[in-house]
Structures are given as C-alpha cells and as structure tokens.
Structure 1
Amino acid sequence: MMEIQKGAELCFPQLLNSSCRKPTFHWSKAVLLNIVLSFISLITAALNLLVIISVSHFRQLHTPSNILLLSLAVSDFLVGLLLIPLEIIRNTACWVLGDFMCSIYYNLVASVFCASIGNIVLISVDRYVAICDPLHYPTRITVVRVKISVCLCWFCSTFASSLYTKDMLIEPGRYNSCYGECMFFTSDTAGIVDLVLTFIVPVSVIIVLYMRVFVVAVSQARAMRSHVTAVTLQRSLNQTNRSELKAARTLGVLVVVYLASFCPYYCYSLVEGNVVNYSSLYFLTMLFYFNSCLNPLIYALFYPWFRNAVKLIITLQIFKYDTSEANIL
C-alpha cells in the first residue's frame, strides 16, 4: 500500500527509480496560480496580436518607429503564446513534453530575451536620432534600414541563443536529474558573458541614449515655450518637434517599464550567485513576462492610432476593400 502511494506521487509511476516527484502545491493555490497566469498569457497574446495586425495592415503605420514596435510585439506575442504556458507547465506540473522540447524551450527563451532587449536598444537609437538630430532623421532612419536592423536583431538573437544553449541542444536532458524535469545550467564563464552582453551593455546604452534624449527634449520644450513666432515654417517645425517629443515620451515610458521588469531578474542573479531560491526566480521571471502584457496597454494609453486600429479590427472592418489605406492617425 505504501509503495502504491509513493508511486502516485511520481510524475511517471512506471519509472520508480528515475522519475521525478510531482510538485507539491496545495490544490487551491495551484488552481488559482494557473488561472491567473493562463489569463495573463491569453491577454498578452491577444493584445500583441492586435498590435501586429494594426502595424502590418495599415500602410499609414509603416513608419520606422512603428516597425520597431511591431518587432517588439512579435517577441511579446511569443511570450504570451508559448513561454508563459510552458513556464506554467515547467514549474507547477511535471514536464511531459520530453527532453528535446525542453531544450527547444530554453533556446526559445534565450532568443526572445535577446530579441526583446535588442528591440528596446533599437527603439532608443531611433528616438535619439529623432530628437537629437531631427534634420537628418528622414535620411538616416529609413524604413528599409529599420527592417534590415530588425532582421539582424532576430538573426543575432537566434544565433547567440543557439551558442548559449548548444550543449543542451546537442544532448537534450543532460541537466535533468530525473524524468519529468526540465532544467538548464550554465558555466560561470557563459553566465558572465550573458550578463555583459544581454544586461550590462544594452542597459548602459539605453540609459545613456535616453539621458541625452531627455536633456535635448527639455531644452527644446523650453525653447518652444519661450519663442513664439508667426512664421508658418517655424510653426510647422515646432509642431513636428512637439510630435517627436510626444513620441519620445511615450517610448520613454515603454523603456522605463521594460527596465523595471527586466532589471530585478539580473540583479537577483548577481546578488544570489550560486544560491538560487526557485520561488523568487519564478516570480521575477513572471514579472519580466508580464511586461509583454503591459506594452500594448501603453500603446492604447498614449497612441490614438492604436485605439482606432483596434476598433476597425474588432468590428471586422479591416476585411472591407482597401481599408489598408484608411486614415487612422
């Protein structure tokens, strides 16, 4: 009787000597946690899908800044569609998808992490040029160049993540101690390289660029308030500056929220070192994933074009003839 009871606690009762034990959660806590995280996953995927459809469908939104937002929305969509559900399975239940899918999961996590921070860096560069060098912005930041930059960002992210998880891809399950587990460990050297390339360098670049943008934006705002002219050209220039400043403010909020969700994970890793508290790590991972749900809400709060596009999408008016040319700005 004791043997049966013991076997019932295993992920794979038929593998008594090599099966992992099922995670011990109180049923009410497990149900509540899964419902909340599943809801966040669904909302994240749905909202980012609206962003993807909006920017892809309406030609008026095919601008360099919006293409960068589209790329970020793709990474956020993957978080909602795949990463959060797989993270729920990995932490609240037995891993039943096999060792190969476990290695693919960690490779996907690394790729999306790298692509997200890469997109945020590109957004910061875009706003830096728009505010600090507005006269050359149309020639330096073109749609073609931004598309190439986005493709390079995703290619480099995928390549870097493959190098980072190559041992696991070559030998799936090498870090698992039992069946029903999905674990991944890195060497100290790989951890340091990852910390520098995916945290210290990009975060430093983002902070430096936005500090410069902030200084220039404040000086431009003061100049526009103090200098009033009746010349039409000057008025037009001031209107353009206001538009760029508003875009910089919105994307600044996006970057700050991203860093607020991103930094705790790496700061915890730095402080804890080899001592890992899996509940804290799981919470910080989910905090970072939750950022993918916040980004579309920021667009809805600050961008009228996103609200207009969503109305057309939800009411299915985008299926009408030539709606891609509609004026939604």
Structure 2
Amino acid sequence: MSTPDEAELCYPHLGNSSCRRIVRSHSVSVLLHIILSSISVLTVTLNLLVIISISHFRKLHTPTNFLLLSLAVSDFSVGFVWVFMIFLIDGCWFLGADWCVFNTVLSYVVPSASIGTVVLISVDRYVAVCDPMHYQTKVTKNRANICIVLCWAGSTVFHTVMLKDNIEHPGGFDSCAGECTVYLPPFAGVIDLIFSFIIPISIIVVLYVRVFMVAVSQAQAMRSHVTVVTLQSSLKVNRSELKAARALGVVVVVFLMCLTPLYIVSLTSGFGVKSFSSYIFVVGLVFFNSLLNPVIYVFLYPWFRKCVKCVFSLQILKSGSSEANIL
C-alpha cells in the first residue's frame, strides 16, 4: 500500500528522482479528461470535413481554398497533439523520452506552418483586393501549392534545427523522471520569436490594414456613387473579394488572439529550459484555435455548410459528385 507521499509521485518506485504529480479530486480529473478528449475529437472531425470538402469538390479548387486546406491540415494535426496534452493533465509524462521529442517537434512545427499559412492568406487577400486586375495571373493554383509546400518544408527544417539539442538528447533536460522538457538555447528562442512571431505578425497586420483601407475607400465610393463606367466590372470583382477578405479577416484576428499570449509568456519568463506542463494554458490556447477555425467556416462560408450536408447524407459517394456546384 502506497503512502500519501508516494501517491503524489509520477513513478513511486523511483522515490525522490520522480517528478511529483498534480493532485486533483477524482471528479475534476474526470471532467478535464472529458473536456480535452472532446476538444481533440471535435478538432480532428471538423477539420477532416474541411479537408474532404476542399479536396473533393472541384469548384473549391482555388488558390484561396488551397490555403484554407493547408490550414485545415495543420489544425487536423493539432487534434492529435491534444491527445499528448491529455497525458500531461496530472503533470506526468509516461510515454518515454522519444515520444516527448516527437510531441515537442510536432507542437512547434504545426503552429509554425499555421502561422506561415495565415501569412500566405494575408498576401492572397492583399493582391485580390488591392490589385484585382492582375490577381488571376499573379495568384495561380500552382503558385499557391508551391508556397504551401515551401511553408511546411521551411517550418519543419527551421524547428528541427531549433530543437536539435532535444532531438539529439531525448530526456536529457528533464530534472526528474516523468517530465517532458523543451529546451531552447537563448539565441534560438530569440530567433524563433523573430521569425515565428514578430516578422509574420507584422506582415499580417500591415497587409490587412491595407486591405481594410481599400475596403473603406471603396465603400465610401459606392455610397457616393463616385464610379467610372470602365471601373464597374473591377468593383464587382472587388465586392466579392472584399467579402472573402472580411471572412478570412475573422480567421486571422482569432488566430492572433490565440497566438499572442504564448509569446508574451515567453518574453516575460525568458527563454531556456521549459517544462511543457508549465506552458499548458497558453499552448492549449494556441491549439484551441484549431477547433475555432472550422467553427468560423460554418458561420461564414455557405459552401462549407453545403459540403457538410453532402458528406453526412453520403451524396459525396455518388458518381460525379465532385463536379457539383456547391458555391
């Protein structure tokens, strides 16, 4: 029979070399497991619907939607990261050093790819709204796909280098048994802050401020009827593009709100050795954004609601369903 002190240890048989678990009442522990498990299942399911919708229906094969597809893939991956977070509810890591490294790399690469994708979305909306006459030639499907591949490859390589010490020495920075520690050298933390937060966020804000200014000026022009006949067609294009920009703007704003606290905590607490469990809230907020994105699509994109109906009614299995006009 274990003593009270042993019950608080992740590995009671290791004594003082074991980390201490976070002791909670049984009801609270069960509630947390239910909440996190539900978030994980919903995140995987909803983003899988986005992936199936955009991949299946040809009418949705546009550069903008390919960027949404990339974002959905990263959000889908986050659904599995939630599973690892469930193991850290009590502050103990039981999956071993190798899985800790895998979780660490995945936890950095996936959000970084999301940040890069949001930057690409901002560039896409900037060109569509501010240079609509050349949008079709500047932003093509092939170019969008190439940018997406480069985004994911760059994110993977960048964070593999940043986390090199963790990869080469699994468990080498744990202070006790049952810990999953993330180590970033101070200079690496600063580089990560600059390239994963400051530069991307600056680009996103600058581009969307420009898009907002164009939207305001066009709204004023349409209200005052100050339009030229030769510009009427381009204004029609802009109205649809502005509508898309507003919808994606909601995605961008929610993304920034979920991402910013993580880097504020990093700045205020400094860089170096960090226990993953100590970052559980702000990291969880970043990952929770992956559930919010498809929820936003439900409210802002009629085509997504139609696609969901097609999937659940199994119409998607019918021959020629990929050619259906769901726009």
TM-score category of the 2 structures, normalised to the smaller one: over 0.9
1:174-204 Cα deviation digits (max 9, x unpaired): 1112222111122211111111111111001
Shift in Å at residue 146 of structure 1?
0.2
1:278-328 Cα deviation digits (max 9, x unpaired): 887322221111111111111111111101111001111100101000000
Give the AA of the match of 2:250.
Answer: V
Residue 33 of structure 1: aligned partner: 32
Residue 160 of structure 2: aligned partner: 162
- Identical positions, percent: 54
Residue 243 of structure 1: aligned partner: 240
The alignment of Structure 1 onto Structure 2 pairs a total of residues equal to 326
Residue 67 of structure 1: aligned partner: 66
Residue 252 of structure 1: aligned partner: 249
| Structure 1 range deviating more: 146-155 or 4-13 | 4-13
State the Cα RMSD in Å: 2.2
- Whether the 8 Å contact between 1:258 and 1:291 is mirrored in structure 2 is yes
- Relative to structure 1, the CA distance from residue 281 to residue 18 in structure 2 (aligned partners, 3 Å threshold; closer, same or farther) is closer
Shift in Å at residue 225 of structure 1?
2.9
Q: How does 1:168-247 map to 2 (within 5 A)?
A: 168-227=166-225, 236-247=233-244
- Whether the 8 Å contact between 2:180 and 2:275 is mirrored in structure 1 is no
- Whether the 8 Å contact between 2:10 and 2:178 is mirrored in structure 1 is yes
For structure 2, the 5+ residue unaligned runs are none
| Structure 1 range deviating more: 8-17 or 164-173 | 8-17
- Whether the 8 Å contact between 2:58 and 2:323 is mirrored in structure 1 is yes
- Whether the 8 Å contact between 2:112 and 2:196 is mirrored in structure 1 is yes
- Whether the 8 Å contact between 1:76 and 1:292 is mirrored in structure 2 is yes
1:110-169 Cα deviation digits (max 9, x unpaired): 101210100000000000000011111000100000000000000001101101111111
Residue 97 of structure 1: aligned partner: 95
Give the AA of the match of 2:148.
Answer: V
**Structure 1 length as normaliser, TM-score?**
0.93
2:324 to 319, 322, 326: 326
**Distance in 2, Cα, partners of 1:249 & 1:88:** 35
- Whether the 8 Å contact between 1:68 and 1:122 is mirrored in structure 2 is yes
Give the AA of the match of 1:73.
Answer: A
Q: How does 1:32-181 map to 2 (within 5 A)?
A: 32-80=31-79, 82-92=80-90, 94-181=92-179
Shift in Å at residue 55 of structure 1?
0.3
2:172 is paired with a residue whose SS is: coil
**Distance in 1, Cα, partners of 2:18 & 2:268:** 33
- Whether the 8 Å contact between 1:49 and 1:73 is mirrored in structure 2 is yes
Residue 311 of structure 1: aligned partner: 309
2:250 is paired with a residue whose SS is: helix
For structure 1, the 5+ residue unaligned runs are none
Shift in Å at residue 97 of structure 1?
1.1
Give the AA of the match of 2:317.
Answer: F
- Relative to structure 1, the CA distance from residue 34 to residue 266 in structure 2 (aligned partners, 3 Å threshold; closer, same or farther) is same
Residue 296 of structure 2: aligned partner: 298
Shift in Å at residue 41 of structure 1?
1.3
Q: How does 1:276-287 map to 2 (within 5 A)?
A: 281-287=279-285
Shift in Å at residue 4 of structure 1?
5.1
**Structure 2 length as normaliser, TM-score?**
0.93
1:23 is paired with a residue whose SS is: coil
- Whether the 8 Å contact between 2:221 and 2:227 is mirrored in structure 1 is no
1:49-86 Cα deviation digits (max 9, x unpaired): 10000000000000000000000000011111x11111
- Whether the 8 Å contact between 1:90 and 1:181 is mirrored in structure 2 is no
1:233-267 Cα deviation digits (max 9, x unpaired): 76543332211010010011110110011111111
Give the AA of the match of 1:181.
Answer: E
| Structure 1 range deviating more: 149-158 or 170-179 | 170-179
